[in-house]
Amino acid sequence: MFELPFSVSLTRGDTGRPEAAKIVELDRTLAKTQIDGRWWKIESGRTARSEEQDHHWQWVKVLGEQRTNLAYQAIAVQTPDQEVQGAATYFVDSKSRLEEGEGTINLDRIATAPRNRPWLCEPPRFKGVGYCLLLAVVRHSYLLGLGGRVWLTSVPDQKTHDFYLARGFEVIFEDEDGILDFEISASGACAWLAEEGYPI
Amino acid sequence: MKSKSNTQQINDDFAPVSGGRGQADSYRRDDVDDLASVKADSQLDRHIVRLLALHKKLRVRFKNQDLSQFSDDAKRVLLADMNDLLGIKS
By DSSP bridging, strand A180-184 and strand A103-112 are unpaired
DSSP state of B27: G
Nearest to B88 by CA among A145, A135, A92: A145
Query: How large is the average pLDDT for residues B75-84?
Result: 96
From CA A21, how far away is CA A85, in angstroms rounded? Answer: 9
User: Residue A48 pLDDT > 90, yes or no?
Assistant: no
Determine, for residues A95 and B29 on separate chains, whether the beta-carbon distance falls below 8 Å. yes
pLDDT in tens, B24-77: 788 999 988 789 878 898 999 999 999 999 999 998 888 777 888 899 999 999
Nearest to A63 by CA among A83, A23, A93, A90: A90
Q: What is the mean pLDDT of chain A?
A: 94
Determine, for residues A155 and B46 on separate chains, whether the beta-carbon distance falls below 8 Å. no
State the fold for domain A6-195. Aminopeptidase (3.40.630)
Determine, for residues B15 and A11 on separate chains, whether the beta-carbon distance falls below 8 Å. no
DSSP state of B28: B
Q: For residue B2, what pLDDT band results from cuts at 50, 70 and 90?
A: very low
pLDDT in tens, A158-167: 888 888 998 9
Nearest to A173 by CA among A147, A189, A152, A148: A152
Q: For residue B8, what pLDDT band results from cuts at 50, 70 and 90?
A: low
Question: Chain B within 8 Å of A85 (Cβ-Cβ)?
Answer: no
Query: How large is the average pLDDT for residues A29-38?
Result: 96
Determine, for residues B18 and A159 on separate chains, whether the beta-carbon distance falls below 8 Å. no
From CA B16, how far away is CA A94, in angstroms rounded? Answer: 21
Candidates B5, B12, B43, partner chain A, best to mutate (most A CBs within 10 A): B12
A120: Cβ contacts below 8 Å, ≥ 6 apart: A42, A44, A48, A49, A52, A114
Q: For residue A50, what pLDDT band results from cuts at 50, 70 and 90?
A: confident
Closest chain B residue to A153 measured between Cα atoms?
Answer: B19
From CA A66, how far away is CA A69, in angstroms rounded? Answer: 5
A128: Cβ contacts below 8 Å, ≥ 6 apart: A9, A10, A11, B11, B12, B14
From CA A54, how far away is CA A151, in angstroms rounded? Answer: 19
DSSP state of A85: E
Question: Chain B within 8 Å of A158 (Cβ-Cβ)?
Answer: no
User: Residue B1 pLDDT > 60, yes or no?
Assistant: no
User: Residue B5 pLDDT > 60, yes or no?
Assistant: no
Chain A hits for B38, CB-CB cut-off 8 Å, are 70
Question: Chain B within 8 Å of A129 (Cβ-Cβ)?
Answer: yes
Chain A hits for B12, CB-CB cut-off 8 Å, are 11, 127-128, 131
Among the ranges given (A57-61, A145-149, A156-160, B18-22), the one the predictor scored with the smallest mean pLDDT: B18-22
From CA A110, how far away is CA B17, in angstroms rounded? Answer: 6
- Give the start-to-end residue ranges of the domains of chain B: 37-90
Determine, for residues A199 and B90 on separate chains, whether the beta-carbon distance falls below 8 Å. yes
Distance from CA of B80 to the nearest CA of A (A): 9
